[in-house]
Amino acid sequence: MSTQTTELRIGMVGYAFMGTAHSQAWRTVNRVFDLSLRARMAAICGRDQVRVAEAAAQLGWQEHTSDWRALIDRDDIDLIDVCTPGDSHAEIAIAALAAGKHVLCEKPLANTIDEARAMATAAAAAEAAGVRSMCGFNYRRVPAVTLMRRLIADGRIGEIRHVRAVYLQDWITDPQFPLVWRLQKDRAGSGALGDIGAHIIDLTQFVTGQRIAGVSALTETFVKQRPLPAASSGLSAATGDGLSGTGAVTVDDAALFLARLDGGAIATYEATRFATGRKNGLRVEINGSQGSVVFDFERMNELEFYDATRPSAEQGFARILVTEPDHPYMSGWWPPGHVIGYEHSFTHQARDFIEAIATGADVAPSFADALQVQLVLDAVERSAALGSMWSEVEPVLT
Ligand code: SOE
């Protein structure tokens, strides 16, 4: 950090969907959690001068700029929050780390393995100088998911046998939905696989403590040509005037794979943007030798727990309402029974990163953890390209 301060001065790059979610988190985190550093929303950056000025006013940033390099060069900024499309993550994050700024980077870490490796290397070098980095896999910070990990780590479901994970959306089922950046490989890296498949890869590795060691995959692009957009931002886009023509979709619409985890579990994964009627359907079920746990994002304040060690007459899935003060993160929020939502996971992410910076505690997911996810994405693509051939996933050595 440039100067000693009890403030953590944030510079954020990007202001679409994720930028808005992160802004909400920085704005809220110190009101909810008692932390030794205070986040200050110092400056926001975006390419369009007018729109970034509007975003700054709307989201609560003190200043705005259209030059991310100038933002990184400022010695009154301590942390750079990267909320841009994947094609600029590596460049911005590596430059920020080199300038001594802590970095929070949205997922997936990068668009390619090479970029992700370079980011993890830069993060390791910066770490030696006390500069921290984290990748934004926010669903880890849903209290029910963190509780799921705790129950598994405490041995409450025994040895893990099965992992069953799906992430289902439907926002591009209409073939007339325009060719937004998320459908272009050079901008997004991959499609449903990297955008939402990455979440369930990270989440399942997080809760089980096991690494995906190999996969057999298939991917599909159902709609291969789409109208060029007139304008787009986040998940919304305006269709063109009909005169601009169409362009090729260069990413997967859906990705499915079987996997082996290095602790002995076997797993299935499905990520798709074509699950008609499923808006943001993230569901993970883990079956162990002594029980099961189930998380469903549509009921994100609950965790289902089946304890096979209970007397048979009392067995059945119990629904734990994860709103007690001794549940992860919940002591900061409302009295028991008062549920929280999607945006709170980002506040928890900001909380954990601030605490790690303040105390020197380990950061998770680190860029090395996010590289591990990237290696799985790569193995899925290799396997699919070779007709579902088994592809090993190498471990990241830290
Ligand atoms: C779009 O599919 C998206 O916004 C993802 O990019 C996010 O990571 C996910 O949380 C919601 O859906």
pLDDT given at position 233: 57
Q: How far is the CA of 28 from the centre of ligand 1 (A)?
A: 21
Is-contact 381 190, C-beta < 8 A?
yes
Please report which helix (H) or strand (E) contains residue 265, including its range: none
3-state helix, strand, coil in the chain (%, to 5): 35, 25, 35
Q: What are 1-49's pLDDT values in tens digits?
A: 444 459 999 999 999 999 999 999 999 999 999 999 999 999 999 999 9
Please determine, for the modelled complex, whether the ipTM score is greater than 0.90: yes
Ligand 1 atom closest to 17 (CA): 4
Residue-wise pLDDT tens digits, 181-240: 999 999 999 999 999 999 999 999 999 999 999 999 999 999 999 999 886 555 666 665
Distance from the alpha carbon of residue 314 to the mean position of ligand 1, in angstroms: 39
Number of other CB atoms surrounding residue 344 within 10 Å? 24
> Ligand 1 atom closest to Cα of 139?
10
What pLDDT, on the 0 to 100 scale, is given for residue 243?
52
Q: Which residue has the tokens 């928890």?
A: 348
- Probe ligand 1: pick from 105, 232, 235, 274, max atoms within 8 Å of CB? 235
Ligand 1 center–CA 367 separation, angstroms: 19
Residues touching ligand 1 (Cβ under 6 Å) are 17, 169, 195-196, 235, 280
C-alpha distances (whole Å) from 95 to each of 5, 70, 84, 157 are 23, 11, 15, 44
Query: Counting beta carbons within 10 angstroms of the beta carbon of residue 348, is it exposed (0 to 12), middle (13 to 18) or buried (19 or more)?
Result: buried
Which protein residue's CA is at the shortest distance from atom 10 of ligand 1?
A: 196
pLDDT above 80 for 106: yes
